[in-house]
Amino acid sequence: MSCENKDINFIKSIKGVIRKIRTYKDCIENEAQTKNNFISPFLNAMGYDHTDLSIVKVEATADFLDRKGMKVDYILYSKDRESTILIEAKHHKENLDNHFRQLSDYFYYTRYKENTKKVEFGILTNGIEYRFYTDLDKDNLLDKEPFLIINLEKLTSKDFEYLKKFSRNSLNIEEARGFALEKNIQISCYLI
């Protein structure tokens, strides 16, 4: 399959998720339904088969010190089978500003427990908005501001390009971190 056909299929898959959001958004009552109807189809469109345990681990244990029973919603694995992205999911009506700390704790714990830098990114999502984070400011601690925010209801052609960078078939950790740094600098310049 040519690169152009792969891009077309990728765009069609993402647009399919957007149609599903528009169709069912008013019917979704809780976080579990958000995950099943919005987030899992999105992961599939991004090349992360949520039914394959070597690609996506669901409800992975993330106990930390005195906090037991903690579960990160998804861990995504790269093609070389390394854990790469943590995802914390919320109901689509949730304000994501209230949940950064939870994702940040999971990210830190995963780095601390594993004593490795394999997990590179954290995503906080309500199935419609996806906030991408990494640890550019201080190792092992997620930056407080996302380097990328994608809203599936307001997707632009640039957003498709950005999403493609994090699809399983395209993900290159060094390039993705470089992209995150570039976006972070743009955000910093904008705020000055």
Domain-by-domain residue ranges, the chain? 3-191
pLDDT digit string, tens, across residues 89-142: 999 999 999 999 999 998 988 877 655 558 899 999 999 999 999 999 998 899
Q: Which helix (H) or strand (E) holds 100?
A: helix 100-114
How many CA atoms within 13 Å lie on the side-chain side of 60? 22
pLDDT digit string, tens, across residues 64-87: 556 666 788 999 998 888 889 999
pTM: 0.91
Residue 19, Cβ density class (10 Å: 0-12 exposed, 13-18 middle, ≥19 buried): exposed
Task: Answer for the pair 44, 13: CB distance below 8 angstroms, yes or no.
Answer: yes
Q: Which two tokens stand for residue 18?
A: 């957007």
Residue 141 CA to chain centroid, in angstroms?
16
